Amino acid sequence: MSIEDTIEELTLLLLYLTSWEEKSPFGSAYRSWKGYPFEMLDQLTTAGYISGSRNAKSVYFTEEGAAKAQELQRKYLGTK
């Protein structure tokens, strides 16, 4: 695994660990504040893990992104 892959994984994990669940009439989604380089956020968007407007101050996790983040939580932290 390259250092770039590790940075991408850890960025996704940090976004997830600082996220909150937001409920709406259409369901719920996890959101997180954008506090990371836009290049990395663009990579995570391209990978299909997060989505959101470039003008917004937060991003949404896709179902795939939340599942991947939970997998990374187990990998790096040994927790759920």
pLDDT of residue 2 exceeding 70:
yes
For 47, the domain range is 11-21+33-53+62-80
Confirm whether 37 is domain-assigned.
Answer: yes
DSSP annotation of 62 reads P
Q: In which band, very low, low, confident or very high, does the pLDDT at 33 lie, cut at 50, 70 and 90? A: very high
Percent of the chain with pLDDT over 90: 79
Burial of 19-42, coded b for 16+ CB within 10 Å and e otherwise, reads beeeeeeeeebbbbeeebeeebbe
Q: Give how many domains the chain has, as a whole number.
A: 1
Residue 68 covered by a domain: yes
Predicted confidence band at 80 (pLDDT cuts at 50, 70, 90)?
low
As separate numbers, helices (DSSP H) first and strands (DSSP E) second, the chain gives 3, 4
Q: Is residue 28 part of a domain?
A: no
- Indicate whether 12 pLDDT > 80: yes
pTM score:
0.87
For residue 29, the surrounding DSSP H or E stretch is strand 27-33
Characterise 27 by phi-psi region: left (phi > 0), alpha (psi -120 to 50), beta (else): left
